[in-house]
C-alpha cells in the first residue's frame, strides 16, 4: 500500500515537472517568473488534490 502511494506521488511529480518545462520553454528570459508560477500551480494542485480526497472520503 505504501509503495503504491509513493508511486502515485512520483507520477504526479513527473507530471508537474513536464508541465514546468512546457511552461518554461516559450520564454527563457522570463524563467524566474515562470518558475514562481509553476511552483504556485504545484502548491495549488496539491491542495486541490487534498480537498478532493477529503471530499471522496466524506462521501
pLDDT in tens, the chain (59 residues): 566 666 777 777 777 777 777 666 666 566 677 777 777 777 777 776 777 778 778 76
pTM of the entire predicted model: 0.33
The conformation of residue 1, written as its DSSP 8-state character, comes to: -
Structural domain spans, the chain: 2-58
Q: Are 34 and 21 in contact (CB under 8 A)?
A: no
- How far apart CA 22 and CA 42 sit, in angstroms, is 14
Amino acid at each position: 500500500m505504501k509503495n503504491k502511494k509513493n508511486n502515485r506521488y512520483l507520477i504526479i511529480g513527473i507530471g508537474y515537472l513536464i508541465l514546468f518545462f512546457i511552461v518554461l520553454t516559450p520564454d527563457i528570459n522570463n524563467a524566474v517568473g515562470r518558475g514562481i508560477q509553476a511552483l504556485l500551480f504545484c502548491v495549488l494542485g496539491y491542495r486541490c488534490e487534498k480537498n478532493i480526497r477529503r471530499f471522496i472520503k466524506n462521501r
